[in-house]
A and B are shown apart, each in its own frame.
Chain A
Amino acid sequence: MNKQPELVKLIDTTLCTACRGCQVACKQWNELPGLKTKQLGTYQNPPDLQWNTWTLIRFQEYEDKAGNFQWIFRKDGCMHCTDAACVKVCPSGSLYYTPLKTVGIHRDKCIGCKECVSACPFHIPKYDAKTDKVYKCDLCYSRIKESHAPACVKSCPTGALTIGDKDAMIKKAYARVKELGSDANVYGDKFVDGTHVIYVLQFKPEVYEELPVNPKVPLSVIVWKDLLKPLSLLAAGGVLGGAFLHYMIHGPKYPDLPKDENTEGGK
């Protein structure tokens, strides 16, 4: 890749057949094991994203108020935010922005602190106690940096998953939404400074399970990273400086006692 473009993966949910080729392809490329599961009364399995499942097709039986039924499929996974809460909170530099503007993960640097797990507005990073590390989709950085499509995109038989230059993909998404009409909308380009995974949704975002309507970097993260971090430095600096000034200006508090009193006490 000569010039590194800003990549966006487009998930057109209206073309997804929930074949789950992406779910398997992801595990294959990233060498993630299949774990033992149970049938819980749904096709969705594993029930949620987990350390070995970086992308998951969510199955949702949706009936609107008029009684129209739709089986909704949504491929869940990392949204690759431009302003990524996980990168913000990551203490070790494990989570980082790649040159392609996606959010990569250096697993060797991960210390398993799980800060990203709670910070992510999309609930994406998942912790594995056995390895004491956090896992999530890195948009197949090993592939995209060599100009190959991510495993999920490569495996998608219907064209529901595509990847390309950001502007082109956003344009494509809006064109598709216009074509679909009614409630169809583009999800992802308008928050956290734009995600690098965007959806074409058939319904309004609030219809979808586990999909935040207005995701943002949590206030707690802002309070902490943007406020308390500098404040703590300020406080530490202030105390050190204050002590120094106190010593210089006011001086230490010597015990100013006559000698006899001192000896007297020694009796």
Chain B
Amino acid sequence: MTNHYCDLKNADVILIMGSNAAEHHPIAFKWILRAKEKGATIIHVDPRYTRTSARCDFHVPLRSGTDIAFLGGMIHYILENKKFFKDYVLNYTNASFIVDNGFNFKDGLFSGYDPKKRKYDKATWVFDKDGKGIPQRDMSLTHPRSVFQLLKKHYSRYTLDKVSSITGVSKENLLKVYEIYASTGVPDKAGTECYALGWTHHTTGSQNIRTMSIIQLLLGNMGIAGGGINALRGEPNVQGSTDHCILYGNLPGYLKMLSASLDTLDKYLHKYTPESKDPQSANYYSNYPKFFVSFLKSLWEDKATKENAFGYSWLPKMDDGKHYSTMHMFDAMYAGKVKGYFCVGADTAVSTPNSNKVRKAMENLDWLVGENIFDNETHSFWKGPGVDPKKIKTECFLLPAAATMEKEGSQSNSGRWVQWKYKAAEAPGDALPVGEIEIKIMAAVKKLYEKEGGPNAEAIVNLKWDYLDSKGHFDVIKVAKRINGVFLEDTVIEDKAKGTKTEFKKGQLVPGFGNLQADGKTACGNWCISGSYTADGINKMASRGKEDPTGLGLFPNWSFAWPVNRRILYNRASCDVNGRPYNPKRKLLEWTGDKWAGDVPDGPWPPQADRAKGKYPFIMQRDGLGALFGPGMAEGPFPEHYEPLEGPLEKNLLSSQRMNPAAEIFKSDMDQVANASEKFPYVCTTYSCTEHWCTGALTRWQAWLLEMQPELYVEIGEKLAREKGIKNGERIKVSSIRGEAPCIAMVTKRFKPFTVDGKEVHQVGMPFNYGWLFPKDSGSDSTNMLTPTVGDANTFCPEYKAFMVNVEKL
């Protein structure tokens, strides 16, 4: 979230799209209802009418996988009808930048596409620069190659008729949403967007979010109270796990994972440290080396020296151009290239797309180690349906883990609040916190390497993991302090701007990431979280002050929000170039002449009207401004609508490029695809339900929850059910080209057929919370038997939300 949960109450319009907030964020949903009680309009755009729809002002159904078309239409509407917030767009976005002459977009493809590699060369996705290397701007926004004009041109194709025909949303509904949402493009109105897996689970997932970012920038909704783009992340700690690099491409704090061609620290730092010649751009990532070196020091401390490039060579590196997502991992496992598998707190035999392939892949393993609080379909794959245990060679282990309430530590919510929690109960039996299991395994591995040596032994032998307490147990406080960062030597930090010098002692905790050093004097496990443990030993994550000085629900003394306790990101954009709040009624921040008052500002610099010292508000962007033109994305700087891997249409109605040109296609014999096939004529989407959590591997054992949602079901509209002769509550079969999922039919008014390209298209939906292991006699198995191995081109988040199936009576 750029903002945070309590801030939702400040919005005038809330667009919930790509999220079923009421069902999956039931606690947070109260802030949405609070906004509604104050008169805000709540809109739900979703293929299915859900419990969220029931509480919104209105629900607009759209066909799964057409969000960019829907939102592209909104961009078109905003630009056509001049609903954008001009002052904001001009000053705070790159609308005025001039794009390279070689840049173009033709029939669904941007310049630089290589169809063989399914990849873009981004050489033309750049801005023209002046002699000083500063991007050229046209403040009249009329230059034909200005971002603004290119944006306008790109989305002029997204007409009401076209969008309606693609999405299946009526023109009336499109206009209704566009009008209401665009009404927030004025200084005193705030519109926000809540999304979740409904946007990310697509081959165009990242671009779904990008499209909304463009809208928010156009309407001046970024950096303001009641605005922003808000990813509603899963409980209890999905935000925390991403912050601490659960994704293969990241190191802690979203630092980049290394790749083979970056064989020296210098090369690596050069690549990932952005450079800006514009004196008004803070370009905060210019500090990248400080964060990265401090991270290396946190791993190896004294053993990481200037001489050995702080142990850079010890870190594993990815092959260039290769990816290591869960889907790639199972693809490699299926090809017999992966021999051992640690499955920690996951149930991949249920959660990963194309479960048949995943389960088959696991048969190639020599060993499998599970760490979990329950057995699940992954650990027990060797005795699953259709598997002959005698033929499985894999040796399987299950290490009992402590549940979340059986251990102390931090949990981060979507609003980046890192909240401390305490142990409520002892873990049963031999169960240990996962952290302790890892440390103990690592200690044993370390001993083996010390004794026997091995490839890259230094990385392991030198690892500084002194996180055990005097009794030999995992000490979370020690870890928390290491994450915060510590001075490894006596250090004097000079602030030239303020003319101050501050001394820090060896062993002292760093006050924040601003104090981190690139020369090895500091160690910091995760620069984002730095400042969560103060130098005088106060755990700010555990603070529980309820003061709300701004009245906007920032609650600055409740826990610690990264970065540096900032509650709303890019908050300087809530003020005009002179630092005066755009909306005095929701005063998030104000320049008082010498400092900012309100939320923790995005940097201490004066507002940007001060040409000498002032800085632009989007300090994490190289150019300091909101990116309407976003060259960082794999499939283009402007989001474009592409059909899902499997859809009901043979052609994309907008171009001849049917699906995301940059999305990787998996090619194993088990990765079959059936687009626009008569055999699989219905769009299917999958989701969770309030009563279960993810694969249900934790919740299916809970009798109270199971009582409410006992077995797998498919939600089918009444019309389709009538056509197929399917009765409510009847056991039926849902199948895709990859597999089958027997389940109970839930015939409902909440799914209505769409009219797409003039034809009737039915959509069905299924929860993904079930598996064969428990409850035993339900006959349910994973919905992911049906889903394809394909994902977003940037993140490889699988496309669980749109694929094709058939439904049949048994």
A and B touch in the complex (CB under 8 A): yes
Q: Which residues of A contact B (CB under 8 A)?
A: 14-15, 17-21, 23-24, 27-28, 33-43, 45-46, 61, 63, 69-73, 157-159
B728 / chain A contacts, CB cutoff of 8 Å: 40-42
A43 / chain B contacts, CB cutoff of 8 Å: 708-709
| Interface CB pairs A-B, < 8 A, 18 | A14-B55, A15-B33, A17-B55, A18-B51, A19-B22, A19-B26, A20-B691, A23-B708, A24-B705, A24-B708, A34-B704, A37-B706, A40-B744, A45-B709, A69-B750, A71-B53, A72-B54, A159-B30
Chain A nearest CB from B728 CB (Å) reads 4
B68 adjacent to chain A (CB < 8 Å): no
**Nearest A-chain residue to B25, judged by Cβ:** A157
Q: Are B27 and A157 in contact (CB under 8 A)?
A: yes
Q: Are B749 and A63 in contact (CB under 8 A)?
A: yes
B26 / chain A contacts, CB cutoff of 8 Å: 17, 19, 21, 157-158
Q: Are A41 and B744 in contact (CB under 8 A)?
A: yes
B703 adjacent to chain A (CB < 8 Å): yes
Q: Which of A34, A45, A63, A157 contacts B30 (CB 8 A)?
A: A157
Convert B5-23 into 0s and 1s, putting 1 for each residue whose CB lies closer than 8 angstroms to a CB of A: 0000000000000000011
B52 / chain A contacts, CB cutoff of 8 Å: 17
Q: Are A39 and B703 in contact (CB under 8 A)?
A: no
In the assembly, what is the distance between CA of A17 and CA of B775, in Å? 27
In the assembly, what is the distance between CA of A14 and CA of B42, in Å? 14
Chain A nearest CB from B302 CB (Å) reads 49
B window 734-748: CB within 8 A of A: 744-748
A157 / chain B contacts, CB cutoff of 8 Å: 26-27, 29-30
In the assembly, what is the distance between CA of A23 and CA of B702, in Å? 14
In the assembly, what is the distance between CA of A240 and CA of B472, in Å? 87
Q: Which of A15, A34, A38, A46 contacts B702 (CB 8 A)?
A: A34
B49 / chain A contacts, CB cutoff of 8 Å: 69, 71
In the assembly, what is the distance between CA of A69 and CA of B23, in Å? 19
Chain A nearest CB from B173 CB (Å) reads 14
Chain B nearest CB from A44 CB (Å) reads 9
| Beyond known contacts A34-B704, A61-B750: 18 more, CB 8 A cutoff | A17-B22, A17-B26, A17-B54, A18-B690, A20-B708, A23-B704, A28-B704, A33-B703, A39-B709, A40-B729, A41-B713, A41-B744, A42-B728, A42-B729, A45-B709, A158-B26, A158-B33, A159-B33
In the assembly, what is the distance between CA of A27 and CA of B702, in Å? 12
A34 / chain B contacts, CB cutoff of 8 Å: 702-707
In the assembly, what is the distance between CA of A35 and CA of B703, in Å? 7
Q: Are B707 and A71 in contact (CB under 8 A)?
A: no
B interface, over-half SS: mixed
Q: Are B30 and A158 in contact (CB under 8 A)?
A: yes
Given contacts A71-B49, A158-B30, contact A18 B705 (CB under 8 A): no
A21 / chain B contacts, CB cutoff of 8 Å: 26
In the assembly, what is the distance between CA of A63 and CA of B636, in Å? 44
B630 adjacent to chain A (CB < 8 Å): no
Chain A nearest CB from B718 CB (Å) reads 9
**Nearest A-chain residue to B712, judged by Cβ:** A39
Q: Which of B54, B711, B745 contacts A38 (CB 8 A)?
A: B711
B710 / chain A contacts, CB cutoff of 8 Å: 36-39, 45
In the assembly, what is the distance between CA of A45 and CA of B746, in Å? 13
In the assembly, what is the distance between CA of A43 and CA of B50, in Å? 11
Given contacts A24-B704, A69-B749, contact A17 B711 (CB under 8 A): no
In the assembly, what is the distance between CA of A27 and CA of B703, in Å? 11
In the assembly, what is the distance between CA of A34 and CA of B705, in Å? 8
Q: Are B23 and A19 in contact (CB under 8 A)?
A: yes
Convert B685-726 into 0s and 1s, putting 1 for each residue whose CB lies closer than 8 angstroms to a CB of A: 000001100000000001111111111110000000000000
In the assembly, what is the distance between CA of A224 and CA of B708, in Å? 39
Chain A nearest CB from B765 CB (Å) reads 13
In the assembly, what is the distance between CA of A73 and CA of B690, in Å? 14
Q: Are A41 and B745 in contact (CB under 8 A)?
A: yes
Q: Are B707 and A41 in contact (CB under 8 A)?
A: no
A40 / chain B contacts, CB cutoff of 8 Å: 728-729, 744
Ranked nearest first, the 5 interchain pairs of A and B with the lowest CB-CB distance are A34-B703, A41-B729, A41-B728, A34-B707, A19-B26
Given contacts A69-B49, A70-B54, A71-B54, contact A39 B711 (CB under 8 A): yes
B709 / chain A contacts, CB cutoff of 8 Å: 39, 43, 45
Convert B468-490 into 0s and 1s, putting 1 for each residue whose CB lies closer than 8 angstroms to a CB of A: 00000000000000000000000
Chain A nearest CB from B505 CB (Å) reads 46
Chain A nearest CB from B348 CB (Å) reads 25
B54 / chain A contacts, CB cutoff of 8 Å: 17-18, 70-73
B window 774-807: CB within 8 A of A: 775
Q: Are A37 and B747 in contact (CB under 8 A)?
A: no
A61 / chain B contacts, CB cutoff of 8 Å: 748-750
**Nearest B-chain residue to A61, judged by Cβ:** B749
Q: Which of A19, A41, A63 contacts B746 (CB 8 A)?
A: A41
Chain B nearest CB from A234 CB (Å) reads 50
Given contacts A41-B746, A61-B750, A159-B30, contact A46 B707 (CB under 8 A): yes
In the assembly, what is the distance between CA of A36 and CA of B705, in Å? 11
In the assembly, what is the distance between CA of A46 and CA of B745, in Å? 17
In the assembly, what is the distance between CA of A34 and CA of B499, in Å? 67
In the assembly, what is the distance between CA of A20 and CA of B691, in Å? 8
Q: Are A17 and B23 in contact (CB under 8 A)?
A: yes
Chain B nearest CB from A11 CB (Å) reads 15
In the assembly, what is the distance between CA of A116 and CA of B670, in Å? 61
In the assembly, what is the distance between CA of A61 and CA of B704, in Å? 24
B window 25-68: CB within 8 A of A: 26-27, 29-30, 33, 49, 51-55
A46 / chain B contacts, CB cutoff of 8 Å: 707
Q: Are B704 and A39 in contact (CB under 8 A)?
A: no
